[in-house]
């Protein structure tokens, strides 16, 4: 049976696959559109499985906020290359996932992947179909839900960094400035109270060793050495905590001082950055070319 251009077009619109792939599937099924679509779906899932082990450290951060701004979902969707991350299909998928995360409030990543999008397909089904269409590994890496009694403050730096701040008191300008500060400076903790005790003990141990090796500290009383170490610990805590950091718009004040003057308090914040913590493959193209030349 001859496969018509109309049939190829219909299958292509339905699956998003290439023209030759559509034609091949229609020839294989003797023009049966339903059977061809099923073959291509299975083929796409197989392709997705093959690409699952490939590192996907590029992508986008998406923030979806409720109409009253008191709830938000932050989602990271990954791709292998920045080129794919900029494609409309990829960004539309990421936006859909953020919307369903906010609407359904899944309790885990598995539950989010099982959630249905407006198309009627699950997030996981759509993800795998997108892999088959685009040809790169795509992953829904993580998400976080934030809610508060007052409007949340959000900031997105391009598509690679997203911040949500839950703040009591203050105003929208301060909330936006704090979100920008968190995006730029990346505090690891909100306050010194939240820094794990073992982390502080480890840094204290390092500072003690540094002071012991410093010729300027030789012969100083133990209580003086202890004060020097405590000063280093305070500085360390100020660098890694939001409240202790110099405010990015006025470095003569700490964030804590800015908040006190505004009679405001940060209850919680979330900062996502694309690929944070993912070990990226380091490409050495020069070595790769030389290896090919030597092999030739």
Average pLDDT, the chain: 88
**So where are the chain's domains?**
5-51, 53-147, 192-260
Question: Same topology for domains 5-51 and 53-147, yes or no?
Answer: no
Q: Residue 181 and residue 173: Cα distance in Å, rounded?
A: 12
- E strand or H helix at 251, and its extent? strand 250-254
The two three-digit tokens of residue 243, written as one number: 């409240």
Separation in Å, CA 283 to CA 85, 144, 287, 288, 290: 19, 32, 9, 8, 13
Percent share of the chain, pLDDT over 90: 61
Chain Cα centroid distance, residue 281: 18
Q: What is the pLDDT of residue 214?
A: 79
pLDDT tens-digit profile of 147-172?
A: 999 999 999 999 999 999 999 999 99
What is the C-alpha R_g of the chain? 26
Give me the residue label for tokens 């982390």: 199
At 296 the pLDDT is: 46
Confidence check: pLDDT of 217 > 90: no
- Give the closest residue to 127 by CA, choosing from 144, 142, 140, 110: 140
**Mean pLDDT score, 63-88:** 96
Q: In the predicted model, is pLDDT for residue 116 greater than 80? A: yes
d(CA 247, CA 110): 38
- Rounded Cα gap, residues 65 and 99, in angstroms: 8
Phi and psi torsions of 128, nearest 5° = -70, -35
59/76 Cα distance (integer angstroms):
7
Query: Is 80 exceeded by the pLDDT of residue 282?
Result: no
Q: Read off the pLDDT of residues 243-259 as tens digits, 9 standing for 90 and up.
A: 999 999 999 999 999 99
* CA quadruple 112, 113, 117, 121: dihedral, nearest 10: -150
- pLDDT band of residue 234 (cuts 50, 70, 90) is very high
Read off the tokens for 293.
């030349």
What is 53-147's CATH number?
Answer: 3.30.479.20
162, 150, 182: which is closest to 95 by C-alpha?
Answer: 162
pLDDT, greater one: 287 or 133: 133
Q: What is the pLDDT of residues 45-72, one digit of tens each?
A: 445 455 556 777 899 999 999 999 999 9
In the chain the first and final C-alpha atoms are separated, in Å, by 46
Query: In 105-191, which ranges are continuous DSSP H helix?
Result: 109-114, 123-134, 172-185
pLDDT of residue 10: 82
Name the residue with tokens 């080129």: 83
Could you say which DSSP state residue 216 is in? Answer: G
Q: List, as own/partner pairs, every contact residues 141-144 make where C-beta atoms lie below 8 angstroms and the sequence separation is at least 24, other chains included.
A: 141/59, 141/76, 141/77, 141/78, 142/75, 142/76, 142/109, 142/272, 143/73, 143/74, 143/75, 143/76, 143/97, 143/98, 143/101, 143/106, 143/109, 143/112, 144/73, 144/74, 144/270, 144/272
What is the token pair recorded at 28? 């294989």
The superfamily (CATH) of domain 5-51 is: Ubiquitin-associated (UBA) domain (1.10.8.10)
pLDDT at position 286 is 58
């Amino acid at each position: 049976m001859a496969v018509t251009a109309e049939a190829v077009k219909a299958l292509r619109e339905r699956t998003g696959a290439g023209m030759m792939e559509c034609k091949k599937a229609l020839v294989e099924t003797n023009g049966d559109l339903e059977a061809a679509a099923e073959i291509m779906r299975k083929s796409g899932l197989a392709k997705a499985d093959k690409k699952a082990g490939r590192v996907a450290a590029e992508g986008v951060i998406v923030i979806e906020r409720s109409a009253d701004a008191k709830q938000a979902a932050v989602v990271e969707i990954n791709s292998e290359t920045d080129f794919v991350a900029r494609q409309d299909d990829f960004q539309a998928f990421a936006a859909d996932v953020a919307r369903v995360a906010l609407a359904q409030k899944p309790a885990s990543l598995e539950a989010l992947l099982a959630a249905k999008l407006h198309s009627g397909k699950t997030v996981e089904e759509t993800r795998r179909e997108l892999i088959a269409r685009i040809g790169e590994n795509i992953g829904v890496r993580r998400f976080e839900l934030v809610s508060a009694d007052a409007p949340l403050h959000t900031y997105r730096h391009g598509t690679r960094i997203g911040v949500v701040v839950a703040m009591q008191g203050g105003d929208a300008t301060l909330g936006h400035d704090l979100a920008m500060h968190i995006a730029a400076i990346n505090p690891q903790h909100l306050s010194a109270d939240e820094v794990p005790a073992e982390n502080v003990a480890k840094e204290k141990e390092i500072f003690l060793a540094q002071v012991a090796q410093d010729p300027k500290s030789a012969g100083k009383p133990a209580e003086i050495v202890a004060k020097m170490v405590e000063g280093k610990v305070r500085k360390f805590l100020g660098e890694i905590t939001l409240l202790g950091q110099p405010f990015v718009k006025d470095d003569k004040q700490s964030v804590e001082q800015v908040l006190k003057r505004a009679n405001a308090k940060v209850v919680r914040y979330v900062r996502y950055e694309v690929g944070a913590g993912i070990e990226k493959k380091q490409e050495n193209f020069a070595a790769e070319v030389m290896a090919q030349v030597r092999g030739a």
